[in-house]
Amino acid sequence: MRNELGWACAVLALGGFVFGQKPQGTTNQPATPAAPPELTNLLDARIKAEWQAIKAKDQKAYGELLAEEFVAVEADGGGERYKWKALNELQESAVADFTLSFLKVTPLCADAAFVRYEVFIRFPPKSAVPFEKVLVGEIWVKREGQWKALHYQETRVK
């Protein structure tokens, strides 16, 4: 009985050492570094400009915000939209107004960042759907000193 009690104590003591240790390679730092405020502010302004260009149906302004290899996937199920198609469809846009919220920037490297946010879109009064809320994920890249949208993905929220 005494041996069994000794073994039980030894197992508990060793188990405490094993499970009490931090796994190798981990630190107390968060898994994803916070974006510097200047990057968050810059991309917030670029995204607002992007939506303002959509609202105004301004192809030139919108096109200047997109990388040449830009691809968008919208919630309408219409498939991929490359830059040229997104610009051509801009005149059909029915965005009357928009509100952006919950913007979060995650740096991927010095010249790329992932941005996620929520956009509440209002359509003209006589539209079949008066408003829509979508969650958006975008990848922005720095090209020739300018931040450009590379990828846009939206998901409709009920």
What is the tens place of the pLDDT at every residue in 15-53?
444 445 555 555 555 555 678 889 999 999 999 999 999
Q: What is the chain's mean pLDDT, rounded?
A: 84
Residue 32's φ and ψ, nearest 5 degrees, are -120, 125
Burial of 61 (0-12, 13-18, 19+ CB in 10 A): middle
DSSP per-residue letters across 102-151: EEEEEEEETTEEEEEEEEEEE--TTSSS-EEEEEEEEEEEEETTEEEEEE
Q: Residue 99 has which token pair?
A: 């509100």
Give the SS3 label for residue 25: coil
| Domains of the chain and CATH, by start | 36-157 (3.10.450.50)
Radius of gyration for the chain, computed over Cα atoms and rounded to the nearest angstrom: 24
What percent of the chain is helix, strand and coil (3-state, nearest 5)? 35, 40, 25
Which range of 5-9, 18-22, 31-35, 70-74 scores highest in mean pLDDT? It is: 70-74
How far, rounded to the nearest angstrom, does the alpha carbon of residue 75 sit from its chain's CA centroid? 15
What is the reported pLDDT for 126?
86
pTM: 0.77
